[in-house]
Amino acid sequence: MKPSKRLLCLAAGTLLAAAAVAAATRTIDDEDTRRWWKITADLSGDAMEGRDTGSAGYARAADYVSARFRAAGLLPAGEGGGYRQTVPLHEVAVARDGTSISVNRADGTKVALKFLHEISVRPTRELPQHVEGALVFRGYCSAQEMGTGLAGRIALCFGSRRQGTPDTRARMAAARAAGAAALVVVDDPGFTLEPARWPEAYARSVTIADDSARETAEPPLLRLSAAAFATVIAGSGQDAAAILKAGSESRPLPHFDVPARLAAEFRVTQRDYSSDNVLGMLKGTDPQLAPQVVVVSAHLDGYGYGESVDGDSLYNGTLDDAAYVATLVRLAERRHGHGFKRSVLFAAFTGEEKGLLGAVWFTHHPTVARESLAADINLDQLRPLFPLKILTMHALDDTTLGATARGVAARLHIEIRPDREPERHLNQRADHWPFLKIGVPATGFVFGYDPGTESERRYREWYQVRYHRPQDDLGQPMDFVAARDFNRFFYLFAQAVSDAAERPQFLRPPPSDY
């Protein structure tokens, strides 16, 4: 039997990855970082197939982490005396094959939009197979701009992500109130803090299967690339480039009808399945403090296979977040079963890329007493691409973890800063967020930089080229000294929190959106 094309690609990719790892390892000058990079390579090599939530590749990665936790002397902290906690999931997917979206003009011409490359849709349980309606442009789609009387029509709006403009929730509420048949949000090309990227890997949404809070009936939500905007509004007499520029500058936008209808046919599939968190416990040594549990976490899942980018369709997820599951493993291995004063729960969460699902499930179904949870230190959003001089810390001034981090960082000549790009909402986009929402002090970190520096250039380039892309792989440029320096900071910070005389506390009431 001839080997499949995918197997041949995997074999070739494995050889290339092995060569890249070997070359990189020769440049690493300390043993801890070499071991860390080897674990990273094991988790994000092609054999793990990108660790998509619930996939066979994810299961292999979970087996690997479980075995490493066990070998490092961590005790099982999952269900049934094991290292796993099963998270029940429900998936809605819109398949590329069988889905078509077009703009049908008044003159009879029909222009197809390329699904996942120019336009996509948010899959929901209520997504209809067919959506069609006349297009109208309504600026930023605020409630005032939307007004009423849009029954059967599809609202098109500029998707600003700046403060003072409607967010997705507000736009959807306005569309629902106006009776719109669907909402199409155009990318903001001026939002360079985190620019829009195409293609999307796939159109797939995953929720917790037993979630009793059913989705509110809402109009279908589509996303349109800025490049395709001119195609969609052609014939309206409006200047697409001028509208995009004005929207990027938060200036007033016109309202107008488009002499065309949008027609979409979706091939929707749904299924139930499960995926596991991997949990291991390092028991505390102090009789008074050991009942308190500090969680150290990172997400094990990635994107798996998706739309091809530059000929590569496997989204390895090396820095997002295999490398920082590897950091958890290294901390466990360095301790060799010797605990801190507090107990430390090592958590490799599933489903982060699908909506923080593993962390949400754990915080609502903890495998330890909920009141014992003292803190969560989460590792994600970390990109060791340039020298580590600055760390952005989430919820820096909200809890006493901030002062502890500053004390540790000062010894390592690292500056701790609050988030200077709040429009990106990074605090809400990682697995520490569900802990904050249940009242547990929690934090995470981002490599920081000053504006206009080479560090910023490298950071922006990574988000443009590698974030949620196949190019986040073992062959990408790395600063292994920076990786070493962050891991060293994390080891010391985890120890400081776990050995501190006082339990971490909130310094002010959590913000209302917690």
Exposed, middle or buried, 192 (CB in 10 Å: 0-12/13-18/19+)?
A: exposed
Same domain, residue pair 284 and 203: no
Q: Are 319 and 459 in contact (CB under 8 A)?
A: no
For residue 509, the model assigns a pLDDT of 81
110-113 and 100-105 strand pairing: antiparallel
Q: What is the DSSP letter of 359?
A: H
Beta bridge partners of 236: none
CA–CA dist 344, 491 (Å, integer): 12
Specify whether 159 is located in the same domain as 231.
Answer: yes
Which of 266, 282, 304 is the endpoint of a domain?
266
CA-wise closest residue to 205 among 156, 271, 130, 154: 271
pLDDT (0 to 100) of residue 17: 57
- Confirm whether 509 is domain-assigned: no
Tell whether 128 is covered by a domain. yes
Phi, psi (5° rounding) for residue 468?
50, 45
Q: Report how far residue 21's alpha carbon sits from residue 274's, in angstroms, rounded to the nearest whole number.
A: 32
What would the pLDDT profile of 322-370 be if each residue is shown by its tens digit?
Answer: 999 999 999 999 999 999 999 999 999 999 999 999 999 999 999 999 9
Residues 256 and 281 in one domain: no
Residue 7 belongs to some domain of the structure: no
326 and 462 both lie in a single domain: yes
Is 2 a domain residue? no
Q: Cα torsion for 229, 231, 232, 233, to the nearest 10°? A: 90
Q: In this structure, is residue 131 part of a structural domain? A: yes
Asked whether residue 418 is domain-assigned, the answer is yes
Burial 218-241 (b: 16+ CB within 10 A, else e): bbbbbbbbbebbebbbbebeeebe
- Write the CATH number for 70: 3.40.630.10
| 8 A C-beta contact, residue 481 and residue 410 | no
Please indicate, yes or no, whether residues 394 and 408 belong to a single structural domain of this protein: yes
Domain assignment of residue 329, given as a range: 19-92+270-499
Q: Are residues 289 and 400 in the same domain?
A: yes
Closest by CA position to 348, among listed 326, 331, 372: 326
pLDDT at 162: 86
Q: Are 161 and 132 in contact (CB under 8 A)?
A: no
Give domain status of residue 10, yes or no.
Answer: no
pLDDT digits (tens, 9 = 90+) for 484-495: 999 999 999 999
Q: Are 92 and 127 in contact (CB under 8 A)?
A: yes
CATH of the domain at 191: 3.50.30.30
- In order of 35, 115, 198, 311, the CA distances from 307 in angstroms are 32, 10, 9, 9
122 and 142 in a single domain? The answer is: yes
Residues 6+ positions from 82 with CB-CB distance below 8 Å: 66, 76
260 plus 280 within the same structural domain: no
Q: The tokens of 342 are what?
A: 């507090």
Domain boundary among 266, 301, 316: 266
Picking from 241, 266, 291, the residue at the C-terminal end of a domain is 266
Does one domain contain both 222 and 244? yes
Task: Report the alpha-carbon distance of residue 49 to residue 53 in Å, rounded.
Answer: 11
Q: Do the beta carbons of residue 461 and residue 195 sit within 8 Å?
A: no
The pLDDT tens digits along the chain (514 residues) read 344 455 555 555 555 556 666 667 678 999 999 999 999 999 999 999 999 999 999 999 999 999 999 999 999 999 999 999 999 999 999 999 999 999 999 899 999 999 999 999 999 999 999 999 999 999 999 999 998 889 999 999 999 988 889 999 999 999 999 999 999 999 999 999 999 999 999 999 999 997 655 556 789 999 999 999 999 999 999 999 999 999 999 999 999 999 999 999 999 999 999 999 999 999 999 999 999 999 999 999 999 999 999 999 999 999 999 999 999 999 999 999 999 999 999 999 999 999 999 999 999 999 999 999 999 999 999 999 999 999 999 999 999 999 999 999 999 999 999 999 999 999 999 999 999 999 999 999 999 999 999 999 999 999 999 999 999 999 999 999 999 999 999 999 999 999 999 999 999 887 666 6
Q: How far apart are CA 138 and CA 156, in angstroms?
A: 6
Rounded to whole angstroms, how far apart are CA atoms 159 and 188?
A: 6
Q: What is the pLDDT of residue 217?
A: 75
Query: What are the residues facing 157 on neighbouring strands?
Result: 185
212 and 294 housed in the same domain: no
Model confidence pLDDT, tens digit, residues 421-455: 999 999 999 999 999 999 999 999 999 999 999 99
**Residues 344, 412 share a domain:** yes
DSSP 373: E
* Number of independent structural domains in the chain: 2
Both 241 and 216 in one domain: the answer is yes
Domain-embedded: residue 5: no
Residue 377 CA neighbour count, 13 Å, CB half: 28
Is residue 395 within 8 A of residue 331, CB to CB? The reply is no
How do the residues of the chain divide into helix, strand and coil, expressed in percent and rounded to 5? 35, 25, 40
- Contact partners, residue 280, CB within 8 Å, separation at least 6: 66, 69, 70, 72, 74, 75, 76, 77, 83, 332, 345, 346
